[in-house]
């Protein structure tokens, strides 16, 4: 394929590449992809592959689907995010009330709250304890709210700092709401509410053990707490230079033991209602790194690939911008491991997070990070998609063996994601390493490649449908067989019903991977290995 020049960035760090720029594609351009083999004329395809890219109809069809899907996702990004908020709100509402029917029951029961509140009013507005602090009414009223909460009030109505002074904006309302959440929590503590005390204890323990990410996650306002935190400590979101958004999320936790400590670096997978995450997954752009091989462009961008320099070992960070994912994680590990000679670390992730986990190890190998590679115990991925081609697979096998790093891919049954992108002549993506394959009964098989490696096969339709039906039946029996901890809710059950029509979709959920590690004989395998 002919090379195209671009003013966007210098890609000299790659010996070959194929980049899809969905923002430059127009409708008729997409149609021409399907009808013309000459891709060099397409403004949204930038390539330097020395004729190695297969321009067959199959390859052009995949390009068409990738770009069209990305354009639709970006178009629907805000509605999708809003829908996600609504879904999460509904799920939380149902969970807090104990079920769908209890929402109606609790609404009706609310009319009788007056009888249960020790003669305290059901609803109050602005219980100010003093009038001497205009501009601080959210504080003075929160003190009163905590007091009446202890006495039995059922509903608190927040007050902003602009009360009696003017109309509040969004930030004033947020501060008022947080103040009243604190008041409600104080009241719950005073009344001996077990959940409130457990929440307090969990955050106190996280603070004492310097588990900052847990500290943030448990707080009333995680974003504000993170913004006040020292810049050298973990941040919730890391920037991707290509998207120019803080979309990559990672948790760094510390597991303390008597003899040694283990840091766990866990990359988050695709957020269901995040358009940027989905675009990362379906972007079939790739880069060829000299001496390494071709790697998935979307995953590399999410980890912190830079437009003009690729993966330099050291960078100058712009303090005005969120950090790049790979570099901030690496710097945190450098600091913590150098301070604790007995500490090790592992890297893990589910779905997109699994791809980022193995790519994180790849860049460590590329940079020859001696300290980190000596302390890296293993990389464990769950439902991980393919990341690179055969040359990349060979490179990783050699480096993993050279540095004695264990790498295990957990694959559950008919999960579709580990079978993508395709391992065929169009895509050329390859898996490598040990595959720990679990069937629908959570029985373990150690394989080199999961069965039905490319998912779409007429011969496998009936077996996959039968598996989906068995998983649906298992939803009713698993709690009786293995205990109430494994009980599946109505949402997961509904998802499994969809799985009968689209086998492999619900199999990608975290629940089955969690069950595989708890119910499968994984511990025996790891000890034997």
Catalytic residue among 137, 276, 415, 512: 415
pLDDT for 350 beyond 90 = yes
Q: Is the dihedral of CA 235, 241, 244, 245 positive or negative?
A: negative
Residue in 218, 209, 211, 150 with CA at minimum distance from that of residue 183? 150
Q: Specify the range with the lowest mean pLDDT, choosing from 72-81, 119-128, 463-472.
A: 119-128
Q: How many whole angstroms separate alpha carbon 294 and alpha carbon 158? A: 55
Catalytic-residue membership of 36: no
Catalytic-residue membership of 351: yes
Q: How many whole angstroms separate alpha carbon 476 and alpha carbon 496? A: 11
Please give the model's pTM, rounded to 2 decimal places.
0.74
Tokens standing for residue 128:
């100010």
Structure confidence by residue, pLDDT tens digits, 418-427: 998 888 776 6
In angstroms, the Cα distances linking 449 to 394, 398, 426, 514, 525 are 15, 18, 19, 21, 17
466 touches 493 (CB < 8 A): no
pLDDT at residue 410 in the model:
95
pLDDT for 501 beyond 50 = yes
Catalytic-residue membership of 508: yes
pLDDT at residue 170 in the model:
82
Q: How many whole angstroms separate alpha carbon 49 and alpha carbon 287? A: 10
pLDDT for 100 beyond 60 = yes
Rounded to 5 degrees, φ, ψ at 156 are: -110, 140
Catalytic residue among 351, 431, 475, 516: 351
- Go through the domains of the chain in sequence order and give each one's CATH number: 16-74 (no CATH), 112-232 (3.20.20.540), 250-455 (3.40.50.1820)
| 3-class SS of residue 13 | coil
pLDDT at residue 74 in the model:
86
DSSP string, 151-205: HT--EEE---TTTTTS---HHHHHHHHHHHHHHHHHHHHHTT-HHHHHHHHHHHH
| 3-class SS of residue 96 | helix
Angle in degrees, CA 341, 342, 347, rounded to 5 = 100
Q: How many whole angstroms separate alpha carbon 191 and alpha carbon 210? A: 29
Exposed (0-12), middle (13-18) or buried (19+): which is 315, by Cβ within 10 Å?
A: middle
pLDDT-based confidence at 394, cuts 50/70/90?
Answer: very high
Catalytic residue among 48, 158, 350, 508: 508
Q: Which residues contact 304 (CB under 8 A, 6 or more apart)?
A: 238, 239, 240, 241, 248, 324, 325, 326, 327
375 touches 344 (CB < 8 A): yes
């Amino acid at each position: 394929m002919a090379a195209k020049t671009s003013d966007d960035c210098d890609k000299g760090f790659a010996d070959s590449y194929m980049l899809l720029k969905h923002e430059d594609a127009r409708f008729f351009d997409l149609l021409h992809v399907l009808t013309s083999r000459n891709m060099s004329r397409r403004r949204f395809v930038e390539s330097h592959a020395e004729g190695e890219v297969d321009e067959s109809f199959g390859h052009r069809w995949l390009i068409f689907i990738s770009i069209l899907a990305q354009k639709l996702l970006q178009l629907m990004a805000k509605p999708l995010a809003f829908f996600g908020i609504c879904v999460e709100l509904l799920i939380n509402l149902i969970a807090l009330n104990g079920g769908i029917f209890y929402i109606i029951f609790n609404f009706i029961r609310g009319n009788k709250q007056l009888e249960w509140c020790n003669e305290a009013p059901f609803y109050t507005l602005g219980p100010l304890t003093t009038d001497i602090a205009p501009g601080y009414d959210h504080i003075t009223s929160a003190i009163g709210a905590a007091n009446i909460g202890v006495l039995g009030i059922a509903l608190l109505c927040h007050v902003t700092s602009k009360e009696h002074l003017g109309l509040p904006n969004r930030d004033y309302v947020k501060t008022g709401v947080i103040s009243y959440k604190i008041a409600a929590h104080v009241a719950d503590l005073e009344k001996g509410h077990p959940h409130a005390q457990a929440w307090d204890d969990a955050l106190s323990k996280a603070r004492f053990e310097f588990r900052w990410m847990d500290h943030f996650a448990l707080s009333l306002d995680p974003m504000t707490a993170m913004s006040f935190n020292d810049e050298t400590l973990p941040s919730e979101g890391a920037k991707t230079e290509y998207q120019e958004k803080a979309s990559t999320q990672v948790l760094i936790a510390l597991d303390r033991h008597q003899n040694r400590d283990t840091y766990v670096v866990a990359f988050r997978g695709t957020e269901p209602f995040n358009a940027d995450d989905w675009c990362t997954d379906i972007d079939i752009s790739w880069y060829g790194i000299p001496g390494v091989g071709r790697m998935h462009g979307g995953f590399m961008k999410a980890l912190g690939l830079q437009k003009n320099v690729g993966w330099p070992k050291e960078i100058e960070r712009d303090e005005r911008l969120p950090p790049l994912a790979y570099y901030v994680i690496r710097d945190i590990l450098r600091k913590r491991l150098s301070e604790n000679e007995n500490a090790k670390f592992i890297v893990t992730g589910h779905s997109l997070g699994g791809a980022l986990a193995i790519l994180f190890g790849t860049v460590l190998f590329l940079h020859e990070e001696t300290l980190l590679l000596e302390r890296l115990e293993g990389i464990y991925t769950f439902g991980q998609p393919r990341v690179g081609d055969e040359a990349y697979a060979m490179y990783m096998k050699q480096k993993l063996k050279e540095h004695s790093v264990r790498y295990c891919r957990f694959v559950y049954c008919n999960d579709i994601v580990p079978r993508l992108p395709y391992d065929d002549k169009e895509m050329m993506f390859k898996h490598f390493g040990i595959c720990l394959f679990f069937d629908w009964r959570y029985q373990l098989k150690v394989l080199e490649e999961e069965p039905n490696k490319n998912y779409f096969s007429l011969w496998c339709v009936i077996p996959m449908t039968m598996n989906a039906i068995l998983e649906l039946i298992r939803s009713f029996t698993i709690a009786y067989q293995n205990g109430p901890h494994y009980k599946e809710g109505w949402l997961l059950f509904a998802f499994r019903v969809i799985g009968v029509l689209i086998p492999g979709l619900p199999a990608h959920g975290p629940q089955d991977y969690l069950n595989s590690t708890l119910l499968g004989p994984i511990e025996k395998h790891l000890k034997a290995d």
